[in-house]
Amino acid sequence: MSYPEFDIEQMDRRFVHELARLHEIGQFDTYSDLMEQMGLERGFVTRIEKGRYHVNVRLLYQVKVLCPQLDLEWVVMGAPATGRAEPTGWPERQVGRPIRA
């Protein structure tokens, strides 16, 4: 199996897509709540999308502890390791708190 060259921007994209997937399956209520649990500013994900911050080992560790279903291999290694498609853009994210019934 051959892997492409390391690309931090693509890894950032995979990470944000993986957070969106985890949010959809109910691993956390809001991005703000998740960031607060990790001791990060609530706009941290937006800063990753804008290229100000990048994914690092500590961040991956913290998310994996809080969200055990994190597909760590896909986030780090991408499609060649998992067969899961590579994202081509940033996911659409809901802003604000979810509506409670």
Residue 98 lies in a domain: no
CA neighbor of 46 nearest in space, from 7, 19, 65: 19
At position 92, the amino acid (one-letter code) is E
**What pLDDT digit, counting tens, does each position of 7-38 carry?**
999 999 999 999 999 999 999 999 999 999 99
Distance CA 43, CA 35 (A): 8
Residue 82 lies in a domain: no
**What pLDDT digit, counting tens, does each position of 58-87 carry?**
999 999 999 999 999 999 999 998 999 999
Residue 64 lies in a domain: yes
Contact (CB, 8 A) for 11 and 76? yes
Identify the CATH number of the domain in which residue 19 sits. 1.10.260.40
Q: Report in angstroms the alpha-carbon separations of 88 from 14, 22, 26, 96.
A: 9, 18, 24, 25
What's the pTM? 0.88
Would you say residue 101 has pLDDT above 90? no
| Number of domains the chain contains | 1
